[in-house]
Amino acid sequence: MTLYVLRTLAKMALTLLTIITLVFFAARLSGSPLDTFLGDGLTEEDRALMIEYFGLERSVWHQYIAYLRGILDGNFGLSFMERRPVAEIVAERIGPSLQLLGSAIALTLAVSVPLGVVAALWRDSWVGSAVMALAFTGYAVPNFVIATFMVLIFAFVLNWLPVVGNGTALHFIMPTIAMSGVLIAALTRFTRNAMLDVLGQDFMRTARAKGLPETVVILKHGLRNAGVTVLSVLGLQIAGMAAAGNVVIEAIFSWPGIGELLVSAAIIRDYPVLQFGVIAVAFAVVTINALTDIAYVIADPRIRMAKG
Amino acid sequence: MTATTHIPSRVGVFGSFWRDANAVQKAAALIGVTLVLMAVLAQAIAPYDPLQQSLISRLRPPQGFERHKPGFLLGTDELGRDVLSRSLFGLQLTLGLALAGACLGLLIGGTLGLLAGLRRGWAEDVTMAAVDLQIAVPFTLLALLILALFGTSLTVMVCVLGIAGWEQYARIVRAEVRKITELPFIEAARASGGGQRYVALTHVLPNIVSPLVVQFTLSFSNIVILESTLSFLGLGVQPPTATLGTMVGYGRDYMPTAPWLVIAPAALIVLITFSVQILGDWLRDRADVRLRVR
């Protein structure tokens, strides 16, 4: 068990190191960052000053080691654009991103778990088909299309909701719904399939044979067991999808979060910000995956025994 | 799941597919074929040059609305260009890019998966480590980084779209190859003196075509969504060339006064993803392969 946890953590560290290395060298592969970022309008003195400022005069290996060392100290370099530490810029953005992510995940759970259970229970009737058709729609329509049409209808035609920023509770409605679309579609499918698996198990028949009311059988014996699978999916798959959706939705609604920061950094080629963004998100996803793995092993004695 | 197994003859494949399809699947197939025809024939059927500007007839609404300009069925955009013609060429570019990206992904992932499945050892370890790595980083972020580093040309875009899907092919091919190489006929082929490459190409590859076709279809709509999203954000193909995503992105600025700029290309994107997803699910059910869909 301890060995398994250690192995998971070691693998996680190795994955992160590889990502950091790739991201660092990819940036250097495309030439001097100063040339692509600042172009021709730079005098020799300015250039020399900038090279010194960003530590670009040493060899690539020196820079790599310095970058790694900096990361250990929590120093991820300076933004080309704002000329201040990347970590500081990102820190200001984490709050709004987490708020949006949190409300999207809350909405996703609140909608897709009941829908998934309903779709499993009434699998052969029109109710099940309708839910699955809805889930399919959420999967097939890109979230920027959902967002654009919501803005058209609720902001411009009806004038009900604000579009830009995160000032009030009303500002949360459209970004949350647009971001949840694909997540709800995915989690509804998973919940339905997990419930279908559980419904066929022997312990469900036993619970019914004991004379328990159907709601107790479904909720306590069914959903609780399906819930383990659903939660692990939420950890493993939804984390990545949410991080990606975050980028698009924040850019559309000018949400002052990490996603919006990364898109504008990509457009103006502010590499240090982008590098840190990719590393930070990879860190979050890898950590969530590792924790989910470990929690799964702890929760399920069959896997715990098998993996020692 | 059913007990009956279909062994369609070469001639009757399409016939039997069509007979078994339900109404929704038939509609999706028809829409898909229509979209492909529209894209392929864009040069012939577009009423105007998609780049032809006309500043005196900017932002005219589609036919039937007040102030419309005769001959411009879907209206004109902020530079007076014909929205219908631009949509047709945008569709062509969107489908072309997605096709090239999907093929590149299939090529990379298929080759690596085949190597990993057949060679085992370090080839397998390295491939699977790369797959894990790819899963750890949400691809939209990676795409932002690549596009910022290497600029936005058609070539870079195809590479980005190719890298987006390779790991799914690699996983599927590796799993299928491992399953197939356990079967007696592979052993027989090896025993009768078939070399590594001969066995891989003539015995293993033909047997994994059907899961690959299914995965290709399913990932195609994801690639269309990814390309449209990046173009929408302004990181895709640069103006005046436009994919459907670019058109939605630029049209957004004029949405309060000219919503038709957004509606036409967005509708085409949704039609593509819908029909392709339905076709993909249908093929998967037909092929009855257990694919893990993300």
- Residue A206, chain B, CB below 8 Å: the answer is no
How far off is chain A from B276, nearest CA to CA, in Å?
9
**Is A138 inside a domain boundary?**
yes
Q: Using alpha carbons, list the distances in angstroms from residue A112 to A105, A107, A185, B14.
A: 10, 8, 7, 37
> Which residue range forms the structural domain that includes residue B162?
79-288
Residues of B within 8 A of A29 (CB-CB) are 149
Query: Considering its fold, how many domains does chain A have in total?
Result: 2
**Residue A83 placed within a domain:** no
Q: Using a CB-CB distance cutoff of 8 angstroms, which residues of chain B are in contact with residue A289?
A: 136
List of chain A residues whose C-beta atoms are within 8 Å of the C-beta of residue B221? 140
A262 touches B: beta carbon within 8 Å:
yes
Q: Nearest-CA distance from A129 to chain B in Å?
A: 13
Chain-chain contact of B145 with A269 (C-beta, under 8 angstroms): no
Shared-domain flag, residues A244 and A293: yes
Q: Chain A contact for B126, CB < 8 A?
A: no
Asked if B166 is an interface residue toward chain A (Cβ–Cβ < 8 A), one would say no
Q: What DSSP string describes chain A?
A: -HHHHHHHHHHHHHHHHHHHHHHHHHHHHTS-HHHHHHTT---HHHHHHHHHHTT-SS-HHHHHHHHHHHHHTT---B-TTT-SBHHHHHHHHHHHHHHHHHHHHHHHHHHHHHHHHHHHHTTTSHHHHHHHHHHHHHHHS-HHHHHHHHIIIIIIIS--S--SSS-STHHHHHHHHHHHHHHHHHHHHHHHHHHHHHHTSHHHHHHHHTT--HHHIIIIIIIHHHHHHHHHHIIIIIHHHHHHHHHHHHHHTT-SSHHHHHHHHHHHT-HHHHHHHHHHHHHHHHHHHHHHHHHHHHH-HHHHHHH-
Span A183-213, pLDDT tens digits: 888 888 888 888 888 887 888 888 888 888 8
Residue A199 and residue A54 in one domain: no
Residue A203 pLDDT: 82
- Measured between beta carbons, the chain A residues lying within 8 angstroms of B129 are 18
Contact B137 A151 (CB under 8 A): no
Q: Are residues A32 and A102 in the same domain?
A: no
- Within-domain flag for B235: yes
| B294 contacts A30? CB cut-off 8 A | no
Mutate to test the interface with B, among A148, A179, A229, A250 (most CBs of B within 10 A): A148
- Chain B contact present for A286, CB below 8 A: yes
Residue A77 lies in a domain: no
Long-range CB contacts (within 8 A, 24+) of A300-305: A300/A228, A304/A1
pLDDT at residue A60 tops 90? no
Q: Are residues A62 and A103 in the same domain?
A: no
B294 occurs within a structural domain: no
Same structural domain for residues A162 and A231?
yes
The token pair that represents B227 in the structure block: 């390309």
C-alpha–C-alpha distance, residues A117 and B74, integer Å: 44
Residue A36 and residue A141 in one domain: no
CA–CA gap between residue A117 and residue A218 (Å, rounded): 9
A62 and A94 assigned to the same domain? no
- A93 belongs to a structural domain: yes
Tell if the CB–CB gap between A148 and B248 is shorter than 8 Å.
yes
Q: Residue A91 pLDDT > 80, yes or no?
A: yes
Report the distance separating Cα B48 and Cα B84, nearest Å: 9
Q: Is the Cβ pair B148, A271 closer than 8 Å? A: yes
| Cβ-defined contact of A247 to B141 (cutoff 8 Å) | yes
For the domain that residue A152 is a member of, what is the CATH number? 1.10.3720.10
pLDDT for A31 equals 59
Who among A19, A27, A269 is closest to B133 (CB)?
A19
Q: Which structural domain, as residue segments, surrounds residue A146?
A: 88-307
Say which residue the tokens 């383990």 belong to. Answer: A228
pLDDT at B106: 93
Domain-located, residue B223 = yes
Is B290 within 8 Å of chain A by CB?
no
- B122, part of any domain: yes
User: What pLDDT sits at residue A107?
Assistant: 92
In chain A, residues 161-200 whose CB comes closer than 8 Å to chain B: none
Chain A CB contacts of B141 below 8 Å: 243-244, 247, 262, 277-278, 281-282
- Is residue B94 domain-resident? yes
Has residue A202 been placed in a domain?
yes
The pTM for the full model equals 0.83
Residue B274 belongs to some domain of the structure: yes
Question: Is B15 a domain residue?
Answer: no
Q: Does B285 touch chain A (CB under 8 A)?
A: no
Same domain assignment for residues A138 and A276: yes
Residue in chain A lying closest to B235 (CA): A267
Mean pLDDT of A71-87: 79
Q: How far is A215 from chain B (nearest CA, A)?
A: 31
A2 within some domain: no
Q: Is A23 on the interface with B (CB under 8 A)?
A: yes
Of A26, A145, A286, Cβ closest to residue B269:
A145
Chain mean pLDDT for chain A: 80
Please check the confidence at residue A39 and state whether its pLDDT lies above 60: no
Domain boundary among the residues A33, A48, A72 is at: A72
Give per-residue pLDDT as tens, A279-307.
888 888 788 778 877 777 776 666 555 55
A41 and A184 belong to one structural domain: no
Q: CB contact, 8 Å: A283 with chain B?
A: no
CATH of the domain at B182: 1.10.3720.10
Q: Is B269 on the interface with A (CB under 8 A)?
A: yes
Pair (A212, A132) in one structural domain: yes
In a domain, A11, yes or no: no
**In a shared domain, residues A105 and A207:** yes
Q: Do B256 and A269 touch (CB under 8 A)?
A: no
Q: Both A141 and A38 in a single domain?
A: no
Q: B141 vs A151: CB contact, 8 Å cut-off?
A: no
Tell me how many domains chain B contains.
Answer: 1
Q: Which residues of A touch B152 (CB under 8 A)?
A: none
Q: Is residue A93 a contact partner of residue A261, using CB atoms and an 8 Å limit?
A: yes
Nearest by CB to residue A278, choosing from B145, B221, B225, is B145
pLDDT tens digits in sequence order for chain B, 294 residues long: 444 555 545 545 566 677 777 888 888 899 999 999 998 988 888 888 888 887 777 778 887 787 777 777 788 888 878 888 899 999 999 999 999 999 999 999 999 988 888 887 888 888 888 887 887 777 888 888 888 888 778 888 999 999 888 888 998 888 888 888 888 888 888 888 877 778 878 888 888 888 888 888 888 988 999 999 999 988 888 878 888 998 988 888 888 888 888 999 999 999 999 999 888 888 877 775 444 443
Longest dimension (CA), chain B: 78
Which residues from chain B sit within 8 angstroms of residue A22, using beta carbons?
133
Considering only CB atoms, B141 lies closest to which of A142, A241, A278, namely A278
Q: Is residue A173 part of a domain?
A: yes
